[in-house]
Structure 1
């Protein structure tokens, strides 16, 4: 970005929408396959979206997808807003790395490499592999209800870390990225961002989290989001300050990741409420960026529904998967691959041969030629 600091306005100039011309060409090609219009439902929309993103008709099959999970602990979890223990995200990361988490199982089944990026886990860095911790910004994030979750310098580092991960994935040839989070307290931070961006109250966006919380925990979470909103609203005009105030390092990095993916013309599948919140902030920074993303699933979290509605996104699946870690988006990946395969491989019907002129009856005068309508 610009010298002397991160200039978020640059993203508005760098990000272009996927090609509308190629999207029309993909739709025209689909019409020539002979399959009835709308017979493939959302698969047609996804196929034309991919063609526009790839700038290619017919579209290429999705051959090198990759799942990227940003990990962090949130100080607000100490208030009892989550069913998981505060500072417990490192245990979730170890399950991912050991291949025993839901996301790891689905990624393995689909043959998708899975990458974990630790930005702010509350554990010693030496307990995890270097490739996981090399983008760590700090150990844990601040308590969003009473203090900034990051300093200004930490927020810029986290944002740039997300951009760097996006660049690495684009440079490695990934043709579709699945975005998820591994966090404790992350849905509370997401609720603050969504309520602030949408101008709504805490109760409207407060859900039950990845592991369903009881009514008392829900009330504590709603109060924390309300207090976070008081701190978020004064800095709404400066998205980097907003992220520093209430988002934590993982959500800040995810926002940078999404924007840089759009700069690099790399499509992304969003997972649940956390990735939706980051996408909503990214949209405020660069309004064309959401055209590079698809919502993989509806998790049932009210905040996610609010965010997706604001971005005019319709989830591909609706199974109520709230476990996080990109699991819902990984479930949608086969659907996206199927759409790409159909768009790539369905043959076009040959054009009908021009009809031969009918032979005139002997007693009748010859009929004048009729020009083909064009």
Structure 2
């Protein structure tokens, strides 16, 4: 049986299996987080059908599409039947049109029950866009601090302990500096980033939380941009300063970046982006330290630059709502979690 379902109704489904029947190129550009790709038409076939549609006639285009799809149907049905064992299926294409309708009809004939997303990915995208046009109802706790103080470590531990956390750098595949994308893979598109953020916020709301913890970021994070009202809510939230000693920060950064395959050549390539800021002579000094494997000296020197750039205190400060030292991480987590419990507006707290 084919059932139409709206984007708003998706939250009523338990463990839905999203099946994106658009081409692999459309899927890579942006999709619903977690969706599986099952193209009815691949990139080349879709382009050919589109050309026929615009230059000849819609009727011939549909016939051409049928010729491409027909031989694939047995394998398509078999794959969908396998996925249907994992949860309710939700098929979607670009606008909830011919592609999802065609496959849903065949599946219905084969006795496979499916949902078909009304309006397709376009409707989902509009929901995400409209969501970020609204002011956030969540209270923000924002971690601030200089490079290497371990803000991401704190977020990771808080999440393990059940607190509502969003790691924006993880979603963006970027740490927020010229070295930000080292070892993190390809960045998402803007649409994909917003969909991932929307999905994370949905999980927080579904768990009944009224607040979240994030790391402070600039408006632009690598190749993506934070939604304006989300960014504004960060600026207006509770500001928490994280600080640590220079030796601890140096050790933390060396550990983080030397785990990256071919770390030194990648760091040297990234340094070129600072050429206009630091000057050629300074870049050469940095490269010499890297070539000699003087990682502690290199990292300490670079921290001087970033500390001056970001301007956060390296000690407790009354300019922030709360300050926490990372010299002893276990103590820092206990102290911070105590503060969050004390300051949140409701009693939702961590989940076990």
Please classify the TM superposition score into its range, dividing by the shorter chain length.
Answer: under 0.3
If asked which structure has higher relative contact order (CA below 8 Å, sep 6+), I would say 1
**TM norm structure 1:** 0.22
